[in-house]
Amino acid sequence: MSADVAARRGIPDASVARLPGYLQALTSLAERGISSVSSEELAAAAGVSSAKLRKDLSHLGSYGVRGVGYEVDRLAYEISTALGLTQDWPVAIVGMGNLGRALAAYSGFATRGFNVIALLDRDDSLVGTPVGDLAVRRMGDLDALVRDDRLAIGVIATPADSAQDVADRLVGAGVRSILNFAPCVLDVPSDVMVRKVDMSTELQILAFHEQRRTGELDLTAQSGVEGVVAL
Amino acid sequence: MSADVAARRGIPDASVARLPGYLQALTSLAERGISSVSSEELAAAAGVSSAKLRKDLSHLGSYGVRGVGYEVDRLAYEISTALGLTQDWPVAIVGMGNLGRALAAYSGFATRGFNVIALLDRDDSLVGTPVGDLAVRRMGDLDALVRDDRLAIGVIATPADSAQDVADRLVGAGVRSILNFAPCVLDVPSDVMVRKVDMSTELQILAFHEQRRTGELDLTAQSGVEGVVAL
DNA sequence: ATCTGTGAAACGGTTCACAGCA
DNA sequence: TGCTGTGAACCGTTTCACAGAT
């Protein structure tokens, strides 16, 4: 009755999220002149278990050779194809503060499949300022970018309080994939995909574990105690 | 027989990862003068389902009132305590390239529970350069930072090829929590926690879904076809 | 009447263990 | 023999649905 996930070209989300890591590891292996890997070796390089790696790759097809392993170049090509990186995706970065400028200068974008075609800022006094190879443009240019340059992905690098407004403009212009660096939740239509990157969140998760670790010393003495509340 | 996870103060990883989001939402509500929320409202503000929110909060304790909801300040305090944000965590950023400088200038750190106490770079010619309030220091200062300033969290903002070396030095100095912005896997002892933030990975995940979407048009005509391979 | 807190069911993802192929 | 590809068991997470508190 319900649409079978695997049947409709469906790779599980968790697998998709790991494919870039495999691609990174494969690229690194290729640079070192290695042309063939076992699932064990590639898994170690990507920081996952070999069973997980094999299961992930099985969703793409059968590109390994039993008893031998995977050909590095071939597998890298297949993963690139699965991720849609055989074409270059035009990206626009919105918000030219510290973070936005750092992202604009980041060479990792161009490395694999992405092309920063525009830098935008809501503040018209910044418009025209050169940042790297590009000049800052105004938000109003968004529609033209989507129409003429097939802009597909927007990166929000603004403060939290203008992020929703920027998201609305991106969506209005036809962008349906957003990478959000602002520390807030974006409200977008259900057909728009948002991924969030937030360093405070990551640090807070680290803090949780760090705190647990240092607090452990006091607890080992009296095990089983549950009702200890600090107040 | 096996140690019960929940009994030993164990909050599930998935819940911990969402607590910062709840805290963000609560802070935002508090700023708007709202002092009480239902699980439904808070869940909407944090972008999750209300059932998930309630289950997450239930791991911290019973801080809501049935028939009423949660007191904003109280819940924010409880989550802060659970995350270990009642104390300020000293953080060092390693790598003073574009990204490192942007992170150093990022005000979001100080906002909640973190204090950037040092900026480091392997390149001694950068040592002494002022970046914001701080001057760049040499890697050799790490031991002193851990010993004298209780440095607990290291942020790696170097290129990929020096990230492992930096991680080794951080671990050697006694840092056991690392936030890695370099696009590579770090090899560290099992008691060291690493979290990775990688914008290329995030963009590649977006590209996958974007590609799926545009490819969909061709597939809708002939449903159920599985063996279509682009080669 | 309302909304939290939570067992129980359903789901998705991971790990196991081995059949299948070179 | 060696390593991939995969059904089946397992485990953590999410969702459901309602008992319990105010």
Give yes or no: residues A109 and A167 share one domain: yes
Sheet holding B153-156, edge to edge: B130-131, B134-138, B114-121, B89-94, B153-156, B177-180, B193-196
Give yes or no: residues B52 and B71 share one domain: yes
On whether residue A33 sits in a domain, the answer given is yes
Mean pLDDT of chain A: 90
Residue A98 annotated as binding? Answer: yes
On whether residue B65 sits in a domain, the answer given is yes
On whether residue B231 sits in a domain, the answer given is no
Give yes or no: residues B102 and B153 share one domain: yes
Give yes or no: residues A75 and A36 share one domain: yes
| Residue of least CA–C1' distance to D20 | B66
Give yes or no: residues B45 and B127 share one domain: no
Q: Which of B9, B84, B204 sits opposite A85 (nearest CB)?
A: B204
Q: What is the tens place of the pLDDT at every residue in A97-149?
A: 999 999 999 877 777 789 999 999 999 999 999 999 999 999 999 999 999 99
Q: What is the mean pLDDT of each run of 10 residues along chain B (231 residues)?
A: 45 98 98 98 98 98 98 98 96 97 86 91 97 97 98 97 98 98 97 96 97 68 40 28
Give yes or no: residues A43 and A66 share one domain: yes
How close, in Å, is residue A124 to chain B by CA atoms? Answer: 22
Q: Does A200 touch chain B (CB under 8 A)?
A: yes
- What the block records as the tokens of B13 is 């990883």
Closest C-alpha among B200, B104, B81 to residue B155: B104
Distances (CA, A) of B22 to A157, B29, B36, B75: 21, 10, 14, 9
Q: Long-range contacts for A31-35 (Cβ within 8 Å, ≥24 apart)?
A: A34/A72, A35/A71, A35/A72, A35/A73
Q: What local confidence, expressed as pLDDT, does residue A32 receive?
A: 97
Q: Which of A99, A179, A200 sits opposite B20 (nearest CB)?
A: A200
On whether residue B102 sits in a domain, the answer given is yes
Q: Identify the CATH number of the domain in which residue B193 sits.
A: 3.40.50.720
Q: Is B175 exposed, middle or buried (0-12, 13-18, 19+ CB in 10 A)?
A: buried
Residue A199 annotated as binding? Answer: no
* pLDDT class of A157 with cuts at 50, 70, 90: very high
* Protein-contacted bases of chain D (C-beta within 7 A): 1-7, 12-17, 20-22
* pLDDT class of A226 with cuts at 50, 70, 90: very low
Give yes or no: residues B57 and B111 share one domain: no
Q: What local confidence, expressed as pLDDT, does residue A108 receive?
A: 76
Give yes or no: residues B113 and B137 share one domain: yes
On whether residue B70 sits in a domain, the answer given is yes
Closest C-alpha among B16, B41, B15, B18 to residue B28: B41
**Distance, Å, B52 CA → D15 C1':** 8
Between CA B64 and CA B72 the distance in angstroms is 10
Mean pLDDT of A166-181: 98
Q: Identify the CATH number of the domain in which residue A35 sits.
A: 1.10.10.10
Q: What local confidence, expressed as pLDDT, does residue B216 receive?
A: 60
Q: What local confidence, expressed as pLDDT, does residue B4 receive?
A: 38
Q: Does A136 touch chain B (CB under 8 A)?
A: no
B197 in Cβ contact with A198 (< 8 Å)? no
On whether residue A26 sits in a domain, the answer given is yes
Identify the closest residue of chain B to A184 by CA–CA distance: B24
On whether residue B150 sits in a domain, the answer given is yes
Q: What local confidence, expressed as pLDDT, does residue A106 receive?
A: 87
Closest C-alpha among B78, B70, B129 to residue B100: B129
Q: What is the tens place of the pLDDT at every residue in A22-81?
A: 999 999 999 999 999 999 999 999 999 999 999 999 999 999 999 999 999 999 999 999
Helix (H, G, I), strand (E, B) or coil at B127: coil
Stronger pLDDT, A216 or A138, i.e. the higher one: A138
In percent, the amount of chain A with pLDDT more than 90 equals 84
Helix (H, G, I), strand (E, B) or coil at A110: helix
Identify the closest residue of chain B to A110 by CA–CA distance: B200
Give yes or no: residues A97 and A146 share one domain: yes
How close, in Å, is residue A68 to chain B by CA atoms? Answer: 24
* pLDDT class of A220 with cuts at 50, 70, 90: very low
Between CA A166 and CA A176 the distance in angstroms is 13
Looking at the structure of chain A, the number of domains it has is 2
Q: What local confidence, expressed as pLDDT, does residue A83 receive?
A: 97
Q: Is the pLDDT of residue A7 over 60?
A: no
Give yes or no: residues A96 and A196 share one domain: yes
Q: What local confidence, expressed as pLDDT, does residue A86 receive?
A: 94
Give yes or no: residues B158 and B174 share one domain: yes
Residue A28 is part of which domain span?
A: 13-82
From B81, B110, B125, the end of a domain falls on B81
**Distance, Å, B192 CA → D8 C1':** 34
On whether residue B218 sits in a domain, the answer given is no
From A82, A110, A135, the end of a domain falls on A82
Give yes or no: residues A52 and A78 share one domain: yes
Q: What kind and span of H or E run contains A29?
A: helix A13-31
